[in-house]
Amino acid sequence: QGCTQKYIVKNYFYYYLFKFSAALGEEIFYITFLPFTYWNIDHSVSRRMIIVWSIVMYIGQVSKDILKWPRPLSPPVVKLEMRTNAEYGMPSTHAMAATAISFSFFIATMNQYKYPFELGLAAAFVFSTLVCLSRLYTGMHTVLDVIGGALISAALLVLLYPAWDTIDHLLLTSPFCPLFSIVVPLVLCYNYPKLDYYSPTRGDTTTILGAAAGATVGFWLNNQYAASAHTGTSVQPGLPLASSTMVFVLARFFTGILVVLLTRWLMKSVVLGVLGYRYQFPMGDLQARRRLEVEVPYKFVTYSCVGLTATVLVPLLHQLLGLM
């Protein structure tokens, strides 16, 4: 589908601010910020964020396809994005993800690092608010969609917080963790609510659950084999970073991201090639790639390998290169 309306940008500050803010609720942010936290800040913080993020996003995506509330009509609304136009609107998963990630990061770090409570709370509020406002500015959601998403995410965070330590302990120590982490998300993906037409929500949900599954298995493997963990000495929020520390932080980040992106590219090609051979379709056949028996294994295997690479292989590479 093409754009239904032409528009003229009158305020480039707001335009680029909210276009950037909208990207903070998409894959480009998840694939950079969550690994960055794991490599440079604290493993326990990253684990808790990924647990909350995956649960919140699954519930948000499923809720969309159960409620089936349409997005704002265009016209009169001018939509600056078209990829998600095929999805339903309520609740806004951008709002849910931004609320979950920002406040789970704040809650997980406020007792481990020395920084003003008010500063952390304000930063979480500003981050989530910018993402929420970006969904209104880009014409992708109504005010009710955004408020509903933020409130649902906040409620889930309140419910999950008392069980954080218990869930984290089980995921690290239970011998059933790898099996549970793979089987449960796969069952959820294959039993995703069916729609009368194709929507990217099932594929996006599979991507999220796959990445979380791979990361969770990586957490378990690291704990079983006593992999070294960052305890926050690499980055201290609120304190100026020494130049040498910043060099190591950036080196770990760019090295890790390069490996993660290469893994994603390689696994996409390999898995899609295998599935194309199995179901007899060319790799460029978009309609075939949208079929349940293709889309779920394609995205789940690809992104579970991405999650596993980010949590196991990249830290090993950091150690080999002397970047720890």
Query: So which residues are the catalytic ones?
Result: 94, 141
Place of tokens 């690290």: 172
C-alpha distances in angstroms, 94 versus 79, 83, 145, 211, 222?
A: 16, 14, 10, 18, 31
Cβ neighbours around 91 below 10 Å, total: 26
Instruction: Spell out the residues 6+ positions from residue 153 whose beta carbon is closer than 8 angstroms to its own.
Output: 56, 60, 95, 96, 97, 99, 100
Distance CA 172, CA 214 (A): 13
Q: Which two tokens stand for residue 199?
A: 């929507």
Q: Which residue is listed with tokens 């493997």?
A: 221
d(CA 21, CA 11): 16
d(CA 171, CA 166): 9
